[in-house]
Structure 1
Amino acid sequence: MHSNLFLVAWRRRLPILLIATFLILLSLWTWAIFHSTTFYSPPSANNRISSSVVKVGSSGNVGYFAKIQKLISQANKVIQRNRKQESTEGFFNFPSFDNDPGSILSTVQPAASTNVKFLKQFTKTQKRKRNYNQLPLESYLFEEERLKILQSQQQQQQQGTRQLEEDRAMEYENILSSSERQSQYEHELHKMGVPVIAGIGPGGPQPPAERLVHLDMKGAPPKLSFLKRLLPIIKTLGATGLLIEYEDMFPYTGSIQALAAKNAYEENELKDFLESAMMHGLTIMPLIQTFGHLEFALKLQGFEHLREVLDSPQSICPSRKVTMSFLEQLLTQIIEFHLKVAQEFSNKNNFAGAAGSTGGGGGGGRDGSNGSYKSFTHIHIGCDEVARMGECDDCRHYTRNKLFLSHVTSVANFIRSKWNQLNVVIWDDMLREMTLSELVESNIGHYVEPMVWVYALDIYHYISPQLWDTYAKIFHTAWAASAFKGAFGESLMLPPVPQHLENNLRWMAVIAKEGKRFSKGFRGLALTGWQRYDHFAVLCELLPASIPSLLTSLSTVSKGYFEPNPKENDILKVLECPFQLNNRHSSTVWLDLTPSIHHCQLFFTCAYPGGNVYKYVHSLFEKLTEINNYLVHVRDQSAWMSDYNVRHNFTSTLRVRDLTAHNDRFIYELTAMGRKAYVIMRDIFDEHTISELVEQKIYPLVLKLKTHSDEGQYLLQRNVWPQRPLPYTRDFGDFIEDIKKVN
C-alpha cells in the first residue's frame, strides 16, 4: 500500500510541489507581515549598531533617506571606536566605510516578497571571507549620498571651528575693560608699524562728515579714463567728493583760451568724467587759484601785465582793475561748466538740484531740504602762499593783511552775488599771522570757509590752540586738509605711507578736539595729493605710485581710526588678492608699515588700478639708488678718477678699467627701464608726462655714466706722465693768483 501511495504521489508530483510551494510562500509572507514593525536588537551592549527596520514604500519615502543618514552617522561613530580596540568574540564587527568598497548597507539582505530589509551580523571570520565582487547592488546604493554627507559634515565642522574662534575672540573682547581693549588695539598697531595716537581707536571720535580726495592736474595729469577707474575704489573706501585743481588742464575758451595747455582735457571727456563721479555719489569742488600760484597764467605773454612784480609770475596784483576782470572770466567759465554738468546730470537722474541765480543749474551736496543728492555746493579759490604782495606802486599804500583780506572778500563777493548757492573756500595759511581785530573788521567770516592745511606730524606747532580759538570766533565752520602724497619732499618718487597715515590720524584727534569750538563744527577733510610743489617745480610722486598711501589714509579717515582687522578694513574690499586673510589675531601681519620694510608686500601682491606703476617705480627707485651709489664711489670716493685726476690726466690705467667696467651694463639697464615706462604707463598718462618722468629721473644718470665712460677713455690714451709736482691748470692758476692777491 505504501508503495502504491508513493507511486500515486510520484505520478502527481507536480501539483503537490505547487501546493507545497504555495503553502511555504504563504507562511513566509504571514511571518513577514507579523514581524514588519519589530526592531531587531543585538545581544551585546557594546560595539554594536542599533539595528533599524527601514520601511520602503513602493514609490519611495522621504523618511527613508533621513533614517539612512542617521544610521550612517551612528555607524561611523561606532567604527571609529572599534578601530581603536581589538574586536571581542561574540560582539558584532562591522565593515569600515573607509576601507570597505561597500558600506554598512552592504549587510542589508532583502526578505522574500516584502519591502523590508534587515541588518545582518558578521563575525570577524565571516568578514575576512567575504567576496566583494559578489556584493549585491544595494551595497553601493547610498555610497554617493554617504560621501556627500561626510563632506557636508567636514565643511560644517570647519565653519564651526572658525565661528568658534571668532566667538571666543568676541567673548574675550567683551570681557575686556575699555583700557585693556585700547591696550590690545595699540599692541596690534605697533605690530603693523601703524602710528598710535592717543584717544584714536574703536569707540573714539566720529570721522569727519565730508572726505574729499584732491586731484592735482598741474603735475602729471592722468588720463580721465584712469581716474574713472579710481572712482568706485575711493567711494568704497569712504570718499564723499573730489577737490579738483585744474590749473592749465581746463578747456578754457574765448579771451583766456591761451591758458589751456596743449594737452588740456577735451570738454566732452571732462563732462563724462564729472558725470561718472556724480553717478558714484561724489560731490565736486573745483579749485581755482585767484591770488598766488597763478604761474600757469602769469608766465604767458599777454598776461604779464597782471603780475604784482614784473620779474615774478607767482602772484597777481590785487589793485589793478584788469585783475578782477581776468579773474571773473576765469571763475565764470569753470563755475558755469560745472553747474551745467550738474544740472544735466540732475535732470537725467531725477535729482532736484538748486537753481542758479543767473545762469546756474543744479547744486551739490547732501544737505538739501528735500534730502536729494547735490553734486556742487562749494568752490575753492586757493589764496595760499602769496609770496609777492604789496610791492607794486599801487599796493604799497596798504598793509599786506589789508590787501589780502580785501582781495579775498572781493572775489568771494563776486561768486556769492552771482551764484548764491555756492559756498567759497580758501586756504588758511595767509590768515595765521593776522590779528582778531583785522579779521573781524574785514567781515571775512561772512564770505569764506577756511581750509586749514598742515601736512606735518605736529599740527599744533603750526595751528596753536589760540589760533583755533580765533578761527572759531570768525568762522562758523572750517575744513581740514591732510595729504596722501606731495608733502615730504619736492622730488620724491614714492610717498612715505606711515608719515602720511600719522598726519591723517593726528588730524582725527585735532578735529575731534577743536571741532567743538565752531558753532557748526568741522565740515570735512580733504586729502591733498600734490604732483608738483608749484607750476615750475619738477615732478614729485606720481598718482598711481601713491595709490597705496591714498587707500591707507582714506580708509582710516573714513572710519576715524585705523582698523587692524583685515576682515573689517575696507582696503581689502578694493584689492584683488590671491590669498585670504585671517582675523586680527593671526600671527601674520597683513599690512606691514614698519620702517625696516622697504615696501608693503600687500600692495606688491594684490592687484588694483596703478599697481603696476607702483611696482615699477619701486624697481626704478632701487636701480637709480644703486647707480647713484656706484657713481659716488667711482667719481667722488675713488682716488683714481676724481675731478683732480681727470683735470690733470694723471691716473693708473689699470684702475681706470676697473672703475668703468660696469658703465655699459648700467646704461643698458637704464635704457630698458625707460622703455618699460612707456609700456607700463601708456594707459595712465600721455606721452608728454611719461617723457618728462624719463627725462627727470633716468636720463641724467645716463648722461653721467656716458661722461664717466668718456673720461675713462680720455685717461686711457696716455702712456707717459709728468714728474711731480703737477702743473696747475689754467683756470686753477687764475684762482690761485686771486688768492695770493688777497693775502
Structure 2
Amino acid sequence: MEFVLKHSMFEHLREVPLKPDTICPSDSNSTSLIHEMLQQVRQLHPNSKAIHIGCDEAWHIAQDDRCLHALNTTFHNSTDKLKLAHISSIAKYAKENLNFEHVLAWNDLFDKIPVELLNEYKLGNYIIPVIWGYVEDVTTPGYFPPGMIQRYSQVFNEMSFGSVFKGANGATQIFVSMERYLSNLKSYLMFYKLNENFLTGKVTGTILTGWTRFWHGIQLCEILPEGIPLLVQEAIYMNDSNLNDSELENKTLEFFNCERHQIFPISYNGKLYNPRKEAIYSFCNFPGSDVYALVCLFYLTG
C-alpha cells in the first residue's frame, strides 16, 4: 500500500492524508485499485496456486470520514467488523475470481478478535493466517494475545508461521545477527509444541521472511547478501531441527563449499578489532558473497 499510496494520484485513498501506510477500505475506488493490483499479479503468475495479500500494520484504520461514516451506518461502530469486511472481501476476490487456491494474510489485524466475529465474516473460508513475530522468543508470555491460538483453532483449518532471516532488527541495522534470527525460528518450534493440542494438523509451514525496509520511504536496512548465509542455515534447520548450532554452521559452510578460515582480531590504526563471528561466511561463494565480505569489513572499520 505504501508503494501505491505514495503517488499523488492515489493520495485521496489514504486514511490519513500525510500517511501512506493505510488505504481507506470504505471507498469503492480502494477496492477497485486492489482488484487491479491482484489481477496484475495473477497475469504475471498464471500458474501460482497461492498469493499473500498482506493486511498487516494498518496503523490508521477508521480515521477518515468515509470510514467513520461506514462505522456509524454499517458496522455498528465496530472497527473489527470494518477490518474483517475488507479482509474477507479482498481474500474472497483473490480466491473465487482469480482462482488462487491458497490466500495468505498476516494475522495481526485480527489476533484479538473473538471467534464469533471471525466466523461471521467467514475468514476461515478465505484465508490462511500467517502468525508472525520476530523477537528472539515468541513464546514469551504476552507476546501474542492471550487465547489467540485457541481462537484460531476454532476458525482456521490451516495456519502458517512467519519467521525471519533479515531486516527485522532495527530500521538502520546493517548486519544480520544469525544467532538472534535463528533463535526466533527455533522458538516457533517450541511455540508449536506448547500449543500442539490446538495446532496439530493445522500448521502447513513456516515462511522465512526477509525485509529490506521498515517502511517504503526510508533507507535500506539489512540487504539481501547479508541474509543469504542465514537463509540457508535456517532452511537446513527446518529440514532437521535436531542439529545443534555447531552442526548447523558446518552444514552451511559445506553447502556453500566455503574455504575454512579461523577468524582472528584485526589490527587497524593501532587498535585491535574483533570480527563478528558471521565473518566466516566471507570466504564462501554465493550470489553477493563479495558484498557480504565488504559488509564484514565495514563492521570492522565503520
What is the alpha-carbon distance in structure 2 between the residues aligned to residue 435 and residue 449 of structure 1?
17
Is 1:298 matched with 2:14?
no
Question: Amino acid of the residue matched to residue 471 of structure 1?
Answer: Y
* Residue 536 of structure 1, aligned match among 211, 214, 217: 217
* Offset from partner CA, 1:683-734 (integer Å, 9 cap, x none): xxxxxxxxxxxxxxxxxxxxxxxxxxxxxxxxxxxxxxxxxxxxxxxxxxxx
What is the alpha-carbon distance in structure 2 between the residues aligned to residue 494 and residue 567 of structure 1?
20
Question: Amino acid of the residue matched to residue 14 of structure 2?
Answer: R
Secondary structure at the aligned position of 1:429 is classed as coil
Larger radius of gyration: 1
* Residue 206 of structure 2, aligned match among 525, 529, 533: 525
Instruction: Give structure 2 stretches of 5+ with no counterpart.
Output: 72-77, 264-273
Contact preservation (8 Å) 2:166, 2:227: yes
What is the alpha-carbon distance in structure 1 between the residues aligned to residue 100 and residue 10 of structure 2?
31
Secondary structure at the aligned position of 1:474 is classed as coil
Q: How does 1:682-697 map to 2 (within 5 A)?
A: none
Alignment-derived partner of residue 614 in structure 1: 292
User: TM (normalized to structure 2)?
Assistant: 0.86
* Residue 418 of structure 1, aligned match among 81, 97, 102: 97
Question: Amino acid of the residue matched to residue 51 of structure 2?
Answer: I
Secondary structure at the aligned position of 1:430 is classed as coil
* Offset from partner CA, 1:81-121 (integer Å, 9 cap, x none): xxxxxxxxxxxxxxxxxxxxxxxxxxxxxxxxxxxxxxxxx
Is 1:574 matched with 2:255?
yes
* Residue 280 of structure 2, aligned match among 602, 625, 640: 602
Contact preservation (8 Å) 2:111, 2:145: no
What is the alpha-carbon distance in structure 1 between the residues aligned to residue 79 and residue 112 of structure 2?
11
Is 1:486 matched with 2:158?
no
* Offset from partner CA, 1:18-49 (integer Å, 9 cap, x none): xxxxxxxxxxxxxxxxxxxxxxxxxxxxxxxx
* Residue 309 of structure 1, aligned match among 13, 16, 21: 16
Q: How does 1:515-664 map to 2 (within 5 A)?
A: 515-518=196-199, 520-563=201-244, 566=247, 570-578=251-259, 598-624=276-302
What is the alpha-carbon distance in structure 1 between the residues aligned to residue 249 and residue 282 of structure 2?
21
Q: CA deviation at 1:549?
A: 2.1
Alignment-derived partner of residue 324 in structure 1: 31
Alignment-derived partner of residue 714 in structure 1: none
Secondary structure at the aligned position of 1:394 is classed as helix
Contact preservation (8 Å) 2:162, 2:207: yes
What is the alpha-carbon distance in structure 1 between the residues aligned to residue 29 and residue 248 of structure 2?
58
Question: Amino acid of the residue matched to residue 612 of structure 1?
Answer: D
Contact preservation (8 Å) 1:576, 1:608: no
* Residue 128 of structure 2, aligned match among 430, 449, 454: 449
Count of residues in correspondence between the two structures: 283
Q: CA deviation at 1:516?
A: 4.0
Secondary structure at the aligned position of 1:526 is classed as strand
Instruction: Give structure 1 stretches of 5+ with no counterpart.
Output: 1-293, 343-375, 581-587, 590-595, 625-743
Contact preservation (8 Å) 2:153, 2:199: yes
Secondary structure at the aligned position of 2:207 is classed as strand
RMSD: 2.4
Question: Amino acid of the residue matched to residue 195 of structure 2?
Answer: E
Q: CA deviation at 1:613?
A: 1.1
* Offset from partner CA, 1:344-372 (integer Å, 9 cap, x none): xxxxxxxxxxxxxxxxxxxxxxxxxxxxx
Secondary structure at the aligned position of 1:407 is classed as helix
Q: How does 1:45-56 map to 2 (within 5 A)?
A: none
Distance 1:299 1:465, change over 3 A: closer
Question: Amino acid of the residue matched to residue 152 of structure 2?
Answer: Y
Q: CA deviation at 1:464?
A: 4.9
User: TM (normalized to structure 1)?
Assistant: 0.36
What is the alpha-carbon distance in structure 2 between the residues aligned to residue 551 and residue 465 of structure 1?
33
Question: Amino acid of the residue matched to residue 600 of structure 1?
Answer: E
Alignment-derived partner of residue 379 in structure 1: 51
Question: Amino acid of the residue matched to residue 68 of structure 2?
Answer: R
* Residue 82 of structure 2, aligned match among 387, 398, 403: 403
Contact preservation (8 Å) 1:531, 1:542: yes
Q: CA deviation at 1:320?
A: 1.0
451-460 vs 432-441, which moves further: 432-441
Q: CA deviation at 1:493?
A: 0.8
